Amino acid sequence: MPELKIKNSKIRLVKGDITELKVDAIVNAANTQLIMGGGVAGAIKRKGGPAIQKEASEKAPISVGEAVITTGGELQARYVIHAVGPRQGEGDEETKLKNATINSLKLMDEYHLKTIAFPAISTGIFGYPIEKCADIMTSTAKEYLNGETEIEEIIFCLFTREDYIVFESKLEKV
């Protein structure tokens, strides 16, 4: 498992199912209405139960690049952070993805949480290229950990081997 140490924190890659991780928070690649349909959101909803969607619906809508935190329901993670990434072609995608990542990390510090797992935000139904996603998310995470933070570990949890390999190559260059 590739790992990058930054000050008192680390960034790590995991291939697998984000809903199975024992971390303080997992990130849901959300839409602006915070409706948990398919993909990562659907898996979180199925395994975490209705409490997550209920709380998310009360906090909707949010803008692209923003993030909100809800219970983790029946998941092993205590919380779910719902971050809205950009749709490919909507414009200014890089800034929006960077903001979704930063705003998720800011919620971690606000709630004094130590461990977080991200999926590859916007690369599913939103169509954002995995290479660009990996580049933006890994560099943003590194930059954030170089500042003042209580976060001990950021995990990028990739479902496919192909996505894992892309993130691995980007993490080595960060």
- Choice among 38-47, 69-78, 140-149 with the minimum mean pLDDT: 38-47
Helix (H, G, I), strand (E, B) or coil at 137: helix
Residue type, 99: N
Q: What CATH code is carried by the domain that includes residue 56?
A: 3.40.220.10
Domain with 121, as residue range(s), is 3-173
Nearest one of 147, 38, 54 to 102, comparing CA atoms: 147
Structure tokens at 2: 């590739």
Contact between 81 and 25 (Cβ < 8 Å): yes
Strands across the sheet containing 115-118: 3-6, 9-15, 153-158, 115-118, 25-30, 79-84, 67-71
For residue 39, what pLDDT is reported? Answer: 87
Task: Kindly calculate the radius of gyration of the chain based on its CA atoms and give it in whole angstroms.
Answer: 14
The closest of 39, 51, 19 to 155, measured between CA atoms, is 19
Indicate the helix (H) or strand (E) that contains 130. Answer: helix 130-145
Q: Give mean pLDDT, residues 76-80.
A: 98
* pLDDT for 1: 59
Which pLDDT belongs to residue 168? Answer: 97
Name the domain count of the chain.
Answer: 1
108-128 pLDDT, tens digit per residue, is: 999 999 999 999 999 999 999
Residue range 13-68, pLDDT digits in tens: 999 999 999 999 999 999 999 999 988 999 999 999 999 999 999 999 999 999 99
